[in-house]
Amino acid sequence: MNELHFPWLELCILFPALAALWIGRIRDESQSHSAGLAAAGTTLFLTIAGWIDFETLFSFEAHDHWDVVKYLIGRDEFVIDKLNAPLLPLTALLYFLTMLATPRVKLGKFSFGLALLSLSSTLAVLSCKETWLLIALIGINSIPMYVDLRSRQKPTRVFIFHIGLSTLLMIAGAALYQSSATDAGRGAGIVLLVVAVLIRSGCSPLHCWIADLFENAAFGNALLFITPLVGAYATMRLVLPIAPDWALRSIAILSLATAFYASCMTVIQVDSRRFFCFLFLSHSALVLVGLETATPIGLTGALCVWFSVSLSLTGLGLTLRCVEARTGPMALNRYHGMYSHMPHLAGFFLLTGLSAIGFPCTIGFTGTELLIEAALEFSPWVGGVVVLSTALNSIAILRVYFRIFTGTTHHSTIPLGTIPSERIAIMTFSILLIGAGLWPQPGVHSRYDAAIELLDHRDVTKQPAVEPAN
């Protein structure tokens, strides 16, 4: 395996974890904010450097220089490949921008230390390919979220039940698959893995934990916990390489049903957080639909939509969070008329929403087109449902835009406009969303290469599983 010129991966995992320990000891909220930003910024730099280094190698896969983990346990546990190379900086960017756009009023509720621990564990998950370590890391990744819920004295049963069940099923599935000598045993293992990743991705009817999370956890933490799409990553690493076609088809159908159901639910929501939750569920399910078509075009579409969903919906979530910070929770059964106070946020809400639904000239457009084309190839009905889900989501987005920003005049005695740090975050998101929409070829090309490699890997991995049966 090729080697990076520097231990970028280990550094980008270790640095935020160490910084979290240091920031946990800082009492002052402003200092904690500044230190958190600096740590997240440095991590972002490390991930970008790792990506650039990887691109210069012209390789499918590479591991760290001076690989300490390999030295300790004798295996390359953390690798960078065409799939995760851009996902690492993307995740670091989402954390950085979320921290940057955290308004002062939220500083007391948003733990920067926990966020950095979460960043470290998410980057570790996204760098890992080895089954057992990946399962362990996915479990660890949930701990900061659990701590957040506990610290806010919110109920944790729903979260523990679903995440615990998902992790246990992953362990059972992997163990059964690896230890079984028969096709039936391996098939059962795959079924358990499929159910596990579906729960982690929020597939209906086991999606309630995400809605519960958004209602009870800090919005910023909940946002950062779900938008990197760890469930989709687990599907890519644990299920896609070994799953037979029937398993992929089952995931595709369940994901499609989730996408449609969630898009319908999005239209009727009267609470902004539940609206966001279902919007996210609908889009993340569409990513799974694409992944499970297991065709180059579908997989490319899914990987592109993965990117656009992470960026767009984090942006949309941050907008809602900024509005909530000024007005409190937003009920969507009446108009709020906030436009005149926060035109920036209104415009940004619209931009991120349109980007999520794949409006032309935004980052989501090409991915959505590819996805719909693959879905239509899979079955005209599947394509139709994907198109309908997208249409319902777009109606829901404009409805919520109108509810929050228009319809009446909001009177306020204090200024509610955006602060400079929020404007920087908005501009960064906007440039990425529009820039990648106007010049999509590099991104699509990179995702296509990743898709081809994944499909090749799937063919190679499936081969030994079939041979014993023959």
**Residue ranges binding another protein (CB under 8 A):** 155, 157-158, 161, 208, 211-212, 215, 261, 264-265, 267-271, 273-274, 296-297, 300, 329, 331, 333-335, 337, 339-340, 343-344, 347, 354, 359-361, 366, 369-370, 372-373, 376-377, 383-384, 387-388, 390-391, 394-395, 398-399, 402, 405-409, 423, 426-427, 430, 440-441, 444-445, 448
Tell the smallest beta-carbon distance from residue 100 to another protein (Å).
Answer: 17
Q: Token pair 């659990």 is at which residue?
A: 146
Distance of CA 263 to the CA centre of its chain: 18
Tell the smallest beta-carbon distance from residue 434 to another protein (Å).
Answer: 9
Residue 226: how many CA atoms within 13 Å on its side-chain side?
Answer: 35
Tell the smallest beta-carbon distance from residue 63 to another protein (Å).
Answer: 29
Q: Calculate ∠ Cα 7-9-14, nearest 5°.
A: 95
Is the alpha carbon torsion for 128, 130, 135, 137 positive or negative? Answer: negative
Between 314 and 394, name the residue whose CB sits nearer to another protein: 394
Tell the smallest beta-carbon distance from residue 289 to another protein (Å).
Answer: 15
Tell the smallest beta-carbon distance from residue 409 to another protein (Å).
Answer: 5
Tell the smallest beta-carbon distance from residue 400 to another protein (Å).
Answer: 10
Q: Are strands 79-81 and 2-3 parallel, antiparallel or unpaired?
A: unpaired
Between 415 and 468, name the residue whose CB sits nearer to another protein: 415
Tell the smallest beta-carbon distance from residue 24 to another protein (Å).
Answer: 28
Report how far residue 130's alpha carbon sits from residue 119's, in angstroms, rounded to the nearest whole number: 19
Between 25 and 411, name the residue whose CB sits nearer to another protein: 411
Q: Is 267 helix (H, G, I), strand (E, B) or coil?
A: helix
Q: Give 319's contacts (C-beta < 8 A, 6+ positions apart).
A: 345, 348, 349, 352
Rounded to 10°, the helix 219-226/296-327 angle is 180
Residue 221 vs residues 31, 112, 120, 374, 376: alpha-carbon distances, Å: 19, 9, 14, 34, 36
Between 152 and 423, name the residue whose CB sits nearer to another protein: 423
Between 48 and 264, name the residue whose CB sits nearer to another protein: 264
Sequence-ordered strand ranges (E) for 316-358: none
Between 144 and 440, name the residue whose CB sits nearer to another protein: 440
Between 427 and 460, name the residue whose CB sits nearer to another protein: 427
Sequence-ordered strand ranges (E) for 360-449: none
